[in-house]
Amino acid sequence: MNILSQIRDRFRPALANLTEGVDPLLEMIRPSQDASFGDYQANCAMPLGKQLGLPPREVAQRLIDGLNVDDFCDPPEIAGPGFINLRLKSDWLIAQLVAALSDTRLGVDTTDSPDVVVIDYSSPNVAKPMHVGHIRSTVIGDCLARVLRHLGHQVIGDNHLGDWGTQFGMIIYGYKHFVEDAAYQENPVMELSRLYQRVNRLIEFHAGKRNLPLRDQKVAQLEEQVDTQLSVCRDADEKQKKKQEKVLRKLQSQLAQTRKERDGLAEKLSQVTTDPELLRVAEEHQDIGEAVLQETVRLHAGDETNLALWNEFLPKCREEIQRVYERLDIHFDVEYGESFYHEQLAQVVDQFLESGLARESEGAICVFLEDWDAPMIIRKKDGAYLYATTDLATIRYRMDTWQPDLMLYVVDHRQSEHFSKLFTAAASWVESEVEFRHIGFGTVLGRDGRPYRTRSGDTVGLENLLDEAVAKAHAVVVDNDQRKPEPEMSEEERMQVARVVGHGAIKYADLSHNRTSDYEFDTDKMLALEGNTATYLQYSYARVQSIFRRAEVDARRQSQQVTTFDLGHAAERALALQLLRFSEALEEVLVDFRPNQLTDYLFKLAQMYSVFFEHCPVLKAETDGLRHSRLALSDLTSRTMQQGLALLGIEVVERM
Ligand code: ARG
């Protein structure tokens, strides 16, 4: 039962009597911010009044006259300029609670129109260990998969591994020139990752050396322009001033940006120039950029040595990544990496050429797209295929295999241009109603507000972060346990709880931030016992469980058999309503694919339970009836939290 949808469904005919295009008006029916204005509020009479040229209060009255909600709402009230306030009937609320109590799905229905949804998520480039940047795609994608499935959609989770790109050219080159055998024997992935980094540094060094003078020039040029513009502004008359200042600001921001780029290059150069050994190697490998590309080309052309190396490296890289997935309880339905599509790329290009969607331009095969200046290249002049070509082949494969209604790509927002172009190109190619969505997300930042890195400037390994979070969680758990009159947990249990709490904290911190914003990665904050953290929710859950432990043995069973609720106290009613809004929260997640809709819901639920618990004694309630009712509310709360957290990919513990 989704209360908000039910209310909107009832408003639909009433609105349709007055106007057309009711959907945006229906959006204006929302939960009330303040319980004294009822449970839900419709604000659509104001814009509708404007549109019809009638006083909003009169429009509100007409809406109410055409509205049929008597079966579950008290008579609607008009307030202020024309708000319509709705208050749910208590009997109806109680009946819904009773139904939820005996329902393993807690009153959440599955959809009437299930979709087939492919979710492309996690998708790391496998030649290096997973780092902090991989958290986001992995946990957001996993959460969306869980919620979609729970609501009855058919989901195919696909880990589109980067197992075929230039990064393999890099480690092949690195292996051929720099491998240390003992290190490779000892820990192959670590050694491959070192090789990757070394090759990457060298490539960046040479590219930087070429580009730095150009950047310097550009900076000097902009500095001059800014100077000139400063005097222009000084001399401008009142009328011109605003305009000239705008020009100045634009130049200044260009200057700042260019300086930043230049400093970035300079820093990369200094990483090599300050290391004599590396500098010597750099001199010996002048053409490394080109040579690495050639290694990749050879791999793709089926060169025996390179293919053998790739076959040796790949399983090791995958194992490494798999370990993280196991820890985080992440599972995919399929893991077709880029290499899977290799042999289909030529055909994709042919199809694009045949259908006239692509043509040759300066030797490359290009798809020209409306709204974009630069075309999407699908085959380079030298015959090499690109990221986009593989993505097109992937789309074709998915369409043929699953006929999805929707394809979600949970990928860093920096790739948004790639996906816009890809979707436009694919739309005219696949001839299906399939919808493509890029689910972009912001960057994980360090405390300095810059992308999270180690002191030496490297990205931070994901496993280390998980270990750190678990270690800190362990301290929290021990501290908490020791505060109890009698500590309850064995060391083994503490460790087990610490794992659940540590991993949960990392996932929750990511999911609870609006996915499009950047967020600061701070393990102390994410493990706080107060505030919007998994730790707080897990703690709240455990606290409810402890009530049942303290009550007599069959309290849980008894509470699940109640046939009525007492919602006399405002805190009881508020909690009841929040419990019944679980399905709203889940559907809200899917509106714009935002897991924070669910975290917000759960946080609020925990807060409401806490208010309830403060005002309404449970085990010491005045009557048996009241006690059962409150136990049943507690039971529903803990089950909703458990299920809600599970949909975020987070576990609960019975005590902590
Ligand atoms: N491997 C890519 C990267 O690390 C992400 C792949 C995303 N999925 C896709 N179908 N392009 O940047």
Residue 321 Cβ inside 6 Å of ligand 1? The answer reads no
Residue 124 Cβ inside 6 Å of ligand 1? The answer reads yes
Selected residue with higher pLDDT from 640 and 486: 640
**CA angle centred on 147, ends 545 and 114, rounded to 5°:** 135
Mean pLDDT of the chain: 94
CATH code (residue 539): 1.10.730.10
Answer yes or no: do 365 and 242 share one domain: no
Per-residue three-class SS string for 383-445: CCECHHHHHHHHHHHHHHHHCCCEEEEECCHHHHHHHHHHHHHHHHHHCCCCEEEEECCCCEE
Residue 127 Cβ inside 6 Å of ligand 1? The answer reads no
Q: Is the pLDDT of residue 78 over 90?
A: yes
Q: Which tens digit of pLDDT belongs to each residue from 551-584?
A: 876 777 777 788 999 999 999 999 999 999 999 9
Residue 572 lies in a domain: yes
Answer yes or no: do 473 and 581 share one domain: yes
Per DSSP, helices labelled H in 112-237 are 134-150, 166-178, 181-186, 188-235
Rounded to 5 degrees, φ, ψ at 604 are -65, -40
Centroid of ligand 1 to alpha carbon of 388 (angstroms): 10
Rounded to 5 degrees, φ, ψ at 119 are -115, 125
Would you say 28 and 43 are in contact if contact means Cβ atoms under 8 Å apart?
Answer: yes
CATH code (residue 82): 3.30.1360.70
**How much of the chain is helix, strand and coil, in % rounded to 5?**
60, 10, 30
Minimal CA–CA distance to 466: which of 602, 323, 603?
A: 323
Minimal CA–CA distance to 138: which of 390, 326, 364, 353?
A: 326
Residue 111 lies in a domain: no
H or E element, residue 288: helix 288-300
Residue 438 Cβ inside 6 Å of ligand 1? The answer reads no
Task: Give the mean pLDDT of 424-431.
Answer: 92
Answer yes or no: do 428 and 473 share one domain: no
Residue 125 Cβ inside 6 Å of ligand 1? The answer reads yes
Answer yes or no: do 614 and 514 share one domain: yes
Selected residue with higher pLDDT from 264 and 513: 513
Q: Which tens digit of pLDDT belongs to each residue from 124-140?
A: 998 878 888 899 999 99
Residue 337 Cβ inside 6 Å of ligand 1? The answer reads no
Rounded-to-integer distance, Cα 188 and Cα 320, Å: 10
Minimal CA–CA distance to 137: which of 343, 356, 439?
A: 439
Residue 50 lies in a domain: yes
In the numeric block, which tokens belong to residue 544? 């409810």
Residue position matching structure tokens 């990749």: 296
Answer yes or no: do 357 and 370 share one domain: yes
Selected residue with higher pLDDT from 131 and 255: 255
Return the residue whose CA atom lies nearest to atom 11 of ligand 1.
Answer: 391
Chosen domain end from 88, 107, 129 = 88
Q: Which tens digit of pLDDT belongs to each residue from 297-317?
A: 999 999 999 999 999 999 999
In the numeric block, which tokens belong to residue 631? 């136990």
CATH code (residue 136): 3.40.50.620
- pLDDT, position 129: 80
Pairing of strands 40-42, 83-86: antiparallel
Answer yes or no: do 512 and 637 share one domain: yes
Residue 456 lies in a domain: no
Confidence at 454, pLDDT banded by 50, 70, 90: low
Residue 580 lies in a domain: yes
Chosen domain end from 70, 88, 106 = 88
Residue 165 Cβ inside 6 Å of ligand 1? The answer reads no
> What type of residue is 170?
M
Centroid of ligand 1 to alpha carbon of 491 (angstroms): 41
Centroid of ligand 1 to alpha carbon of 340 (angstroms): 14
Rounded-to-integer distance, Cα 3 and Cα 348, Å: 47
Rounded-to-integer distance, Cα 100 and Cα 3, Å: 13
Residues forming a β-bridge with 79: 83
Residue 419 Cβ inside 6 Å of ligand 1? The answer reads no
Answer yes or no: do 347 and 261 share one domain: no
Pairing of strands 116-120, 154-158: parallel
Answer yes or no: do 429 and 368 share one domain: yes
User: Alpha carbon 217 to chain centroid distance?
Assistant: 40
Answer yes or no: do 490 and 507 share one domain: yes
Would you say 299 and 307 are in contact if contact means Cβ atoms under 8 Å apart?
Answer: yes
Task: Give the mean pLDDT of 589-613.
Answer: 98
Pocket test for ligand 1, best of 119, 123, 170 (most atoms within 8 A of CB): 123
- pLDDT, position 455: 64
Residue 55 lies in a domain: yes
Residue 411 Cβ inside 6 Å of ligand 1? The answer reads yes
Q: Long-range contacts made by residues 381-386, C-beta under 8 angstroms, separation at least 24?
A: 382/297, 384/297, 384/300, 385/300, 385/345, 385/349
Pairing of strands 364-367, 376-379: antiparallel
Please identify, by atom number, the ligand 1 atom nearest to the C-alpha of residue 394.
Answer: 10
Residues in the chain: 656
Instruction: Give the DSSP per-residue string, 330-343.
Output: ---SB---GGGGGG
Q: Which tens digit of pLDDT belongs to each residue from 182-241?
A: 999 999 988 998 999 899 999 999 999 999 999 999 999 999 999 999 999 999 988 888
Chosen domain end from 445, 473, 497 = 445
- pLDDT, position 569: 96
Answer yes or no: do 353 and 475 share one domain: no
Residue 123 Cβ inside 6 Å of ligand 1? The answer reads yes
- pLDDT, position 453: 77
Residue 409 Cβ inside 6 Å of ligand 1? The answer reads yes
Q: Which tens digit of pLDDT belongs to each residue from 350-367?
A: 999 999 999 999 999 999
Answer yes or no: do 199 and 244 share one domain: yes
Residue 324 lies in a domain: yes
Q: Is the pLDDT of residue 282 over 80?
A: yes
Please identify, by atom number, the ligand 1 atom nearest to the C-alpha of residue 165.
Answer: 1
Domain of 81, in residue numbers: 3-88
**Model pTM?**
0.91
Provide the number of structural domains found in the chain. 4
Answer yes or no: do 146 and 256 share one domain: no
Centroid of ligand 1 to alpha carbon of 215 (angstroms): 30
Selected residue with higher pLDDT from 331 and 265: 331
- pLDDT, position 456: 62
Centroid of ligand 1 to alpha carbon of 130 (angstroms): 13
- pLDDT, position 45: 94
Q: Is the pLDDT of residue 473 over 80?
A: yes
Rounded-to-integer distance, Cα 322 and Cα 136, Å: 17
Centroid of ligand 1 to alpha carbon of 124 (angstroms): 7
- pLDDT, position 404: 98
Return the residue whose CA atom lies nearest to atom 5 of ligand 1.
Answer: 123
Buried b (16+ CB within 10 A) or exposed e, 89-107: eeeebbebbbebbeeeebb
- pLDDT, position 558: 77
Residue 391 Cβ inside 6 Å of ligand 1? The answer reads yes
Please identify, by atom number, the ligand 1 atom nearest to the C-alpha of residue 391.
Answer: 10
In the numeric block, which tokens belong to residue 175? 């292996």
Residue 38 lies in a domain: yes
Centroid of ligand 1 to alpha carbon of 441 (angstroms): 13
Rounded-to-integer distance, Cα 123 and Cα 316, Å: 16
Pocket test for ligand 1, best of 118, 415, 437, 443 (most atoms within 8 A of CB): 415
- pLDDT, position 553: 61
